[in-house]
Amino acid sequence: MSTQRRWRPLLTAALLLASSGAWAASVQPTTYPGNFTSCNDLPGVGTWQGLGSSTGGAPVNGQSYNLGLPGQSITFNYTPSGQNQYIGFNATVPMDYIVVKGGNAYNVFHYDPAVSADINLYSPDNGSGEPAGVSHVAFCFLPKPSGEKTADASWKRYTDWSIDKSVTPEQITMFDGDSHQVEYTVTATPLTRGIYRVSGTITVKDPFDFGWKATAVVDTMQFGNAPNQFALQWTAQGGDTDTLDCTKPAPNAQKIILACSYAFDLSSLSHPFLLNASGGVNAAGITTQRNGSCGCADDGSSGGSPGSAQSYTFTATAAFTIPANPAESYGDSFSVDDSMLPNAVDHSFALGDAGYVWTYGRPQPFACDADGGSHNNTATGSWSTGANTNATASDSASVNVACRTVSISKTAQTRYDRDYGWSADKHIVVSPADAKVTGMQGCLADPIASGDYAGNYLCDDIDVTLNDGGSYETVYRLAATRGIESESGFAVSGDIQVNWPVDVTPVFSPSAPSDVLHFAGGTTQSVSPTCDAQGPTSLHCAYQASLSGKLDGYNQASIQRVRQCYDANGAASDCGLQAYDSNQAALAYGDPNVETDRCVVLTDLFNGTAGLNLGTGFGWTVQPLLCGSFVHYATGDVDPDPDMVRSLDVFASWLLPSQTGAGNSCEFMVPNLLTLATDNGANKSDEAVLSVRVPELCANAGCTYTLGYWKTHSTYGPAPYDATWAAIGENTLFFSSGQTWYAVFWTPPKGGNAYYILAHQYMAARLNVEAGASAPTQVSSAIAQATAWFTGRSTTAPKGPARDTAINLAGILGSYNEGTTGPGHCSVSPSTLSKAAQ
């Protein structure tokens, strides 16, 4: 009984481990008893799907048999020749089974895989210890498809580069004028990958036109130094799973039923073992199929009958070797262009360099203040990625430069001492009329310009003429003038403050600032300040200097810092000096620090001459503390103390000539002394002397007042009442005018009415005579003529000779009243005049 044997595709990995080539080797036969007639009798095989036949009898040495395929044969030879126990064969088609029959049994030689030749085949032992002689030989074979493949290996090297740029230091803090070098470091990192390609062709043939069709191909590649397997496949059904490019050609002379091309492209980035691989094996597992088969007749002739579909899987292998050198190499060099440096390519790295590090400094160190802020610097590297393509990589490094400065400021405080000089000035205020009288001493040329006594004059000494019982209200001008007598002790002092930020430390040379006084005109004076120990952020100094006077100018300080030039590691070296100037502190002079005689005590002493008036030492304090120039007019009440004399009125009855010891003198003096008491005791004073003359006391004829005096000194005022009016009476009617004397005095001569012109001078002359003034003959005659002229006359303005007479008489009497003729003018106080005008 035979069983069917099915051929299955061998797509497993076991195929990949098969030998790279077929071999012919003797196999151990299997012995079966009995007779063997056809390939269908193969034990355990069943219906034979291939071809086969029998020699029918013992083959003749060198005899060939037709295999039933055009041009295909098998030849048997005894080895050695001349005997019939051991036989060999050579066939043009590989044999699967050779059956050698001898005696009552047969040996089955099974070749898997099929072989085209073998020797020393034999029949079973015949009991003699030797094989039986060959009675006949059967040969069974399946004309199988064949496969061929090629495998060529090559690789390309690609090096990609990355770049890292750093800088030392990244943060720089320094003073203005300093510089700092930096060091840039560019580190290139190559990443080399190999793109390995194993490619070739797979050719499947049906060399005997046995109707085979290729249904699947699995191409598997394995390198010798790793277990990794890489596979591509093709199936007859097609679809997205196909990774082999295979085509089924039309019938062709080469009997090719399938042609495939393949390529494995692998990167060492994914498979690092490739960097050390030298080669490997590429095996294609090929599955074929044919529909139906041929059976063999019992007589061994070829023939066939329909059968089921038949599959056959086999392997085609090819070894490959990886070349030592790549076919192409890209990125072997890395060219770096730095944005800071002038060249197009500033540095190049070559694959295989040690370290791949490039360090360099900035062409010019960073300097403050020019380079303050952030400075970004980029290094860009480029490399080839293909025959006509390139790639770039870049990285940047930033340096932040913080610039600091030193500030210096100063103050200037001046000081000096001042000694004030004072002058006392005392004058008597007199009317313009009195100022013209002979005997007035030291009168100022110009009258008083403003105030209550404007138009009057200031005199040092005056002579006053009064009638017996008359009065003169004295007005004194008390003045004190303060001036600068001397200034000394000029000096200037102050602070110098130097500051800087906390994150830097300056070195000063010299350690203290210089300080110079600059004066108008270009002269200078150096000052040496005294400084405290330098602190972490400041230096404080103080200074003082004497000055030759109140000099205009300013004071300015300067300090020098040692410039530092730093290398990239922060090591500093001295590289010059940086100067800093302070503000110009002006020499401004305010109030003096020490003042001598700044204030005085102002006193006024009346009648300081012994024996006169109130006696020695009578005085009053005008200003208890006078600290500036002073002007004061003193009249009337000068001391509020009710127990003191409250008036400066000078009366003729104060002291008679006999009381002064002056004999028949009719004149006495009223001296007055203004005194300034200073700090240092150097008192200043000024005296004004009022000389009072009373002619009547010397048997003289008195003095006369103007009509203005008499019209204001009646009981109606406004000036103090003069008792002379009582002899006539203010309300007495004036002749036939219908008006009182007082009314006529205050009636203006409108239109030049000669009646009132003569009346005013007439009334004043009459009152002057009543007051004791002597009247010359011409005046007495004029008074008598005027009396006759007024008698019976109305106030109507006269005309013609009457008017001429009135005008002539008024002129004579006016000269008398005004003191031009007669005994002279009586002095009148400006205060009295001022009151009369109110």
- Which of 584, 616, 648 lies at the terminal end of a domain, its last residue? 584
Please indicate, yes or no, if residue 721 is contained in any of the structural domains.
Answer: yes
How far apart, in whole angstroms, are the C-alpha atoms of residue 61 and residue 56? 14
Nearest to 786 by CA among 778, 745, 713: 778
Torsional sign, CA 334, 335, 338, 341:
positive
The whole-angstrom separation of Cα 110 and Cα 101 is 14
Residues ≥6 apart with Cβ < 8 Å to 74: 64, 65, 67, 89, 90, 91, 92, 93, 95, 139
DSSP β-bridge partners for residue 97 = 110, 140
Chain Cα centroid distance, residue 686: 72
DSSP reduced 3-state for 8: coil
- For 218, the domain range is 145-293+314-404
Last residue of a domain, one of 584, 606, 624: 584
Backbone angles phi, psi at 436, to 5 degrees: -90, -10
Mark whether 93 and 192 lie in a shared domain: no
φ, ψ dihedrals at 833, nearest 5° = -65, -40
**Residue 47 CA to its chain's centroid (Å):** 101
Instruction: Identify whether residues 800 and 728 lie together within a single domain.
Output: yes
Task: Assess whether 188 and 60 both reside in one domain.
Answer: no
Asked whether residue 184 falls in the same domain as residue 319, the answer is yes
Domain count of the fold of the chain = 4
Pick the closest to residue 115 from 100, 98, 101 (CA basis). 98
In a domain, 191, yes or no: yes
Report, in angstroms and rounded to the nearest whole number, the Rg of the chain calculated over CA atoms: 78
257 with 358, same domain: the answer is: yes
Q: Which of these, 631, 508, 646, lies nearest to 580 by C-alpha position?
A: 508
- pLDDT at residue 306 in the model: 46
Q: Quick one: 718 and 798 in the same domain?
A: yes
Whether residues 131 and 105 fall in one domain: yes
234 and 376 fall within a common domain: yes
Task: Look at residue 227 in the predicted model and tell me its pLDDT.
Answer: 95
Q: Return the number of other C-beta atoms located less than 10 Å from residue 17's C-beta.
A: 11
133 and 191 share one domain: no
pLDDT given for residue 833 in this prediction: 66
Residue 547 covered by a domain: yes
Q: Which two tokens stand for residue 468?
A: 């017996």
Instruction: Report if residue 770 sits inside a domain.
Output: yes
Question: Nearest 10 degrees: CA dihedral of 267, 268, 271, 272?
Answer: 180
Whether 425 maps to a domain, the answer reads: no
Which region holds residue 621: left if phi is over 0, alpha if psi is between -120 and 50, else beta?
beta
Residues 120 and 211 in one domain: no
Confirm if 116 and 92 have CB atoms less than 8 A apart.
yes
Question: Which portions of the chain are predicted below pLDDT 50?
Answer: 1-25, 293-306, 607-616, 637-646, 652-658, 660-664
Count how many Cα atoms sit within 13 Å of the Cα of residue 413 in the half-sphere of its side chain: 9
Residue 425 dihedral angles phi and psi, to the nearest 5°: -145, 115
Question: What pLDDT score does 722 carry?
Answer: 86
Which residue type sits at 492?
Answer: V
The DSSP output letter for 818 is T
Instruction: Identify whether residues 110 and 222 lie together within a single domain.
Output: no
449 Cβ contact list (under 8 Å, min separation 6): none
Answer yes or no: do 62 and 174 share one domain.
Answer: no
Q: Which two three-digit tokens encode residue 491? A: 């000096």
Is 77 among the domain residues?
Answer: yes
Domain boundary at 381, 404, 427, which? 404
**Is position 715 within any domain?**
yes
Residue 717 phi, psi (nearest 5) = 70, -160
Per-residue model confidence as pLDDT tens digits over 304-350:
444 568 899 999 999 999 999 999 999 999 999 998 898 889 999 99
270 domain residue, yes or no: yes
